[in-house]
Every structure is written in C-alpha cells, then in structure tokens.
Amino acid sequence: MGKKGGSAPKAPDANEVAKAESQYNRLNTYSPSGAGVRYGYTNSKGKFVEGQPKGNAQAAVMQKESATQRKLRQLLEPASVNVTKSVLNDRMKNMPDVAEIGDRGDIAQTIFDRNMSMMEPTIEKGNERLISNLQARGLPVGGEAFNEAYGEQQRQTQDTISRLAMDADIAAGQEQSRLYGLEADARSRAMSELAAIMGGSYQAPTSQPSGSANPINYSGAANNQYNAELSQYQQKQKENMATANAAGSIAGALIKSSINFKTVKGYLNGNAATMALQRMPIHVWQYTPEHRPEGDHGGNHVGPIAEDFHALTGLGISTHIDPIDYLGILSSALKNALDRIDNLERELLYREGGN
C-alpha cells in the first residue's frame, strides 16, 4: 500500500483484505480429546482442506469429533429420539388453536350496548327535567318554543350517542388486538416448547475451547491507512500545484521573450499607455469562492479589473488579464513618464542657462 515516487497510493485489494481479516478472526480450536473446529476451504474435488482459501475457493469450516464423543453420540441418540417422540405426541394433542381475529363489529356492538344501557337512565331523566321546566315556564307542548328547546335536547343526545358509537369502535379495535395477542401468545409459547423439544436432541459432552476472541478490524485498519496516505498525497499535490501556479504566473511573462519567437508589429504609443493607466481604476478585491485559483491565499489583492483593462487597452478578453500585456502597458507608461521627466529637466536646465 505504500507510495512509490509521486504516484497516488494504491487502494487495498478487497480479496486480500477479506482473506487477511478472516485469517485473524477465525481461530482453530483443539481439545485434549482431539475434538475441535478447523477453518479452511473446499477444493475442486469437494474436499475440505485446512488453511487459507486459494484463489476463488469457497471458504469452509469443519467440526472435528473425538472418538469418545462419537461413541457416546451413537449410544445415546436413539434414546433421545424416543423420548422426543413421546413428548411431541403429547404436546401436539394439547396444542392451542391458531389465533383468530374476532369480528370487530360484534365487539363494538357489545361495548356500545353496555355503555348505552348505563347512559339511558340519565338521558330519560334529562328529557323529563326539560319537559317539566318548559311546562313550568308556560310553554305548551307542540309549540314553536317548546319544539325548538326539545329538538336541541334531542340533537345533543344524538351527538352523545354518536360519540359513544365512535368510542365503542375504537375500544373494539383495542380489545380485538388484546384478545388476539392473548391467543397468539398462548400458541407461541406452546410452539416454543415444541421447538425446544424438537431441538433438544442429545449433545455430546465436549471440552473444546470456544474459539471466541476479540475481533480484529483488519479491513478498517487497512482503509484508514489508505485514506491517510491518500490525504497526504492529495495535500502534496495541492502544494505542488500552488507552487506551479505561482511560478507559472511569473514565468509566463519571461519565457520565450526572444525576438526570434515573435512577429513584431510596431511600437506602443507611450501617451496612450499612460492615459489608459491613468484612467484605469485600481481596486482592492478578493476572488469569489467558486473562482478562487488553486493556491490562492483567500485574502485581498490589488490591481485592475479585466473588464476595465480590456476596455481601455483593447488587449486580451474581458474576463482575464494577460500578465505580458499588463507588464507591457506598465513598461510603456513608465518609459513615457521617464521621457517626460527627462524633457522637463532639459528644458529647466536650458532656461536656467539662458538667464
């Protein structure tokens, strides 16, 4: 897994990692009597071979039985089978029926009838009190006011009965689930007892070790090592790229500057370069995250904007400034400034000499 030269680390081979992890975590066991567990693989002839699987061979495990264990098993297994048959026959006769879900409507009706029977006396007394109250107030039976008050009482009664029906339906579902659970639990216990009996065949005594040990996460360790090496490689690549970008930005204006590599088309007007530079805004700026070049420190930069440079000089494009063009404009403007200073000095000396 180690790196060679400047290449990226090689990812772990899945088959090799799996073989190594199984080798570390599957322990052969040996008992004093010769019994135990052996790990290996199945060869092309279908035979068990102890050791690490080769190629695409199927991994296998073999349980070794000592001579004493074999004799005991052969002696006691028939008796165990007879006892199991006897108990099974008895259990099967007394097995609870399969749990069935009762009819929800019947359960809901039973609950509703019970609750309604308890509420009917209250409803009747309420109606009697209302009628007595209305008659005491002089409202005749069948009159508009009487019918309105009595009708409101009946609507409230119906609302109460509707709520009773809804509550009964909800309670029926809960009771249905409870009864089903009781029946299912009873049958489940019986089935568990039956399964225990069926699986309770004679087990020969053994003194072999369990073979259990703290598992070794070899695949995790290999993956962690690979990720660490890959992270180091990627970090080194970023550093190299940053160095290359920085060097390229400088060297781009220096390499192939010989006249033998160029077609010269004339001289730049120094006054035009100076005017363009004077009119060109100089900003303090940062790259936006999505356009930040590799190796950029993320802090402030100082310089013109590509759109302004292109508009004032006609060079390059509106999204990038060519370092060679930028250096040329600066050189031309600087030369023009030096020439002007030289001319001013000459004129000053001439005037002083004339006086």
Split at pLDDT 50, 70, 90, the class of 146 is confident
Domain extents in the chain: 1-64, 104-198, 257-354
* Cα atoms in the Cβ-side hemisphere of radius 13 Å centred on 5: 1
By C-alpha distance, which of 15, 42, 41, 38 is closest to 27? 38
Per-residue pLDDT, averaged over 34-53, amounts to: 81
Look up residue 144 and give its amino acid.
E
Query: Tokens at residue 331, please?
Result: 């050189």
Whose tokens are 């802090």? That residue is 299
What was the pLDDT predicted at 246?
55
Q: State yes or no: pLDDT of 302 exceeds 80.
A: yes
Query: Residue 330 — very low, low, confident or very high, per pLDDT cuts 50/70/90?
Result: very high
Using CA atoms, how far apart are residues 336 and 233, in angstroms rounded to an integer? 50
> In 3-state terms, what secondary structure has residue 164?
helix
Task: Return the SS3 of 36.
Answer: strand
Whether residue 316 is predicted with pLDDT greater than 50 in this model: the reply is yes
10 Å CB burial of residue 309 (0-12, 13-18, 19+) is buried
6 pLDDT exceeds 80?
no
Q: DSSP string spanning 264-298? A: ------HHHHHHHHHHS--EEE---GGGPPTT--S
pLDDT of residue 331: 92
Banded pLDDT at 84 (limits 50, 70, 90): low
DSSP per-residue letters across 60-81:
EEEEE--HHHHHHHHHHHHHHH
**Range of 6-10, 173-177, 307-311 with top mean pLDDT:** 307-311
Q: Is the pTM of this model over 0.75?
A: no
pLDDT at 5: 42
Q: Which two tokens stand for residue 79?
A: 């008796």
- Provide the pLDDT for residue 3: 42
Residues 326, 312: contact at Cβ < 8 Å?
A: no
- Of 43-47, 114-118, 195-199, 335-339, which range is least confident? 195-199
Please tell me the predicted confidence (pLDDT) of residue 210. Answer: 58
Tell me what percent of the residues of the chain surpass a pLDDT of 70: 75
pLDDT at 99 over 60: no
Dihedral (C-alpha) 75, 78, 83, 86: value to the nearest 10 degrees?
-170
Which tokens sit at 341? 């200073």
Residue 174 has a pLDDT of 81
Angle between helical axes of 270-279 and 323-354 (0-180°, round to 10): 110
For residues 164 and 167, what is the distance between their CA atoms, to the nearest angstrom? 5
Calpha distance 134→122 (Å, rounded): 18
Distance CA 50, CA 39 (A): 6
24, 13 Cβ separation under 8 angstroms: no
Mean pLDDT score of the chain: 77
Contact 298, 292 (CB under 8 A): yes
Report the alpha-carbon distance of residue 99 to residue 181 in Å, rounded. 8
Encode pLDDT of 241-292 as tens digits. Answer: 665 565 555 555 455 678 888 888 888 899 999 999 999 999 999 999 888 8
